[in-house]
Amino acid sequence: MSAAPPALVLEELSVRYGAVDAVRGLSLEVDRGEIVGLIGPNGAGKSSTLHAIMGAAPVVGGDVRQDGRSLVGVRSEQVARNGIALVPEGRRIFGELTVEENLRLGLAARRTRVSGVAFDHAYELFPILHEFRRRQAGALSGGQQQQLAIARALAAEPDVLLLDEPSLGLAPKIVDVVFEALGRIRESGLAVLLVEQRAQRTVAFADRSYVLANGELRLTLAPQDAGDTDRLVAAYLS
């Protein structure tokens, strides 16, 4: 019996906006129960990669496959229903809605029947959300809003979770909360592709990390490489 394909595969992926090549020939894979980091300087193509996976950026070459099935040309809403969830940079929660109402919006892409315990996992990961479940999301702190954005994505019960800069603008203590939750998400068997600005922490935390610069893969790092700042800086500056 053949082994199951990785949860997510990018094969020679290229993304172009007009005359601008945002990503060129990127190949990587993420398996179930893995966190894979995608790091690099601003403008490296990290967010464009996530948008291409979600069907929201123009793929001009290569392939994106989920469980062996190509997603190129698939509409974003269908990608979500196929089991891929994106936590975008900037959170994009609905501030006028309550925490619980925001979580209910995450159910739109859910592939299984909604039960009365739909939010239990989210509240277990982020207990503060249960405490504030009837509070308007716009009244939450930045860190609490980030927790809500992740919980909303998880409400859809995805197989693959994409995160775009989840620690951006957060206090160190809240960053610890987010990374601890990501560790528990990994243990649950999800495949996670993590775009992050905290390069060394990401390399140490992820199962492996890919460094992008100018839209191209420059380096692949294992957790034990987190202290190799010379290689990391060289890749960023290439």
Say whether pLDDT at 38 is over 70: yes
Query: Residue 105: is its pLDDT beyond 90?
Result: no
Separation CA 198–CA 126 (nearest Å): 22
| Mean pLDDT, residues 191-216 | 95
- What are the tens digits of pLDDT across the range 227-238? 888 888 877 776
> In which band, very low, low, confident or very high, does the pLDDT at 30 lie, cut at 50, 70 and 90?
very high
For the segment 18-33, the average pLDDT, to the nearest whole number, is 96
Paired sense of beta strands 35-39 and 208-213, if any: parallel
Which two tokens mark 105?
A: 């919006």
- Separation of alpha carbons 99 and 149, rounded Å: 10
Q: Mean pLDDT in the chain? A: 91
Residue 202 CB partners (closer than 8 Å, separation 6+): 37, 39, 194, 196, 209
Yes or no: say if 228 and 198 are a contact pair by the CB < 8 Å rule: no
Model confidence at 188: pLDDT above 70: yes
pTM of the model: 0.92
pLDDT (tens digit, 9 = 90+) per residue, 114-143?
544 557 788 889 999 999 999 999 999 999
Summarised one tens digit per residue, pLDDT across range 153-176 is: 998 889 999 999 999 889 999 999
Nearest to residue 187, comparing CAs of 211, 217, 207?
Answer: 207
Q: Provide the β-strand partners of residue 194.
A: 37, 163
Eight-state DSSP code of residue 98 = B
At residue 118, the pLDDT reads: 59
Q: Compute the 3-state secondary structure of the chain and give helix, strand, coil in percent, each to the nearest 5.
A: 35, 25, 35
Give the H/E segment covering residue 159: none
Q: How far is CA 221 from CA 13, 20, 37, 227, in A?
A: 20, 27, 9, 11
More confident residue, 103 or 113: 103
From the list 50, 39, 35, 38, the residue with the least C-alpha distance to 206 is 35
Going by their DSSP bridges, the two strands 160-164 and 191-195 should be labelled as parallel
Q: Which region holds residue 9: left if phi is over 0, alpha if psi is between -120 and 50, else beta?
A: beta
Question: What domains lie within the chain, and their CATH numbers?
Answer: 1-83+159-172+180-238 (3.40.50.300), 84-157 (no CATH)
Distance in angstroms (rounded) separating the CA atoms of residues 179 and 166: 9
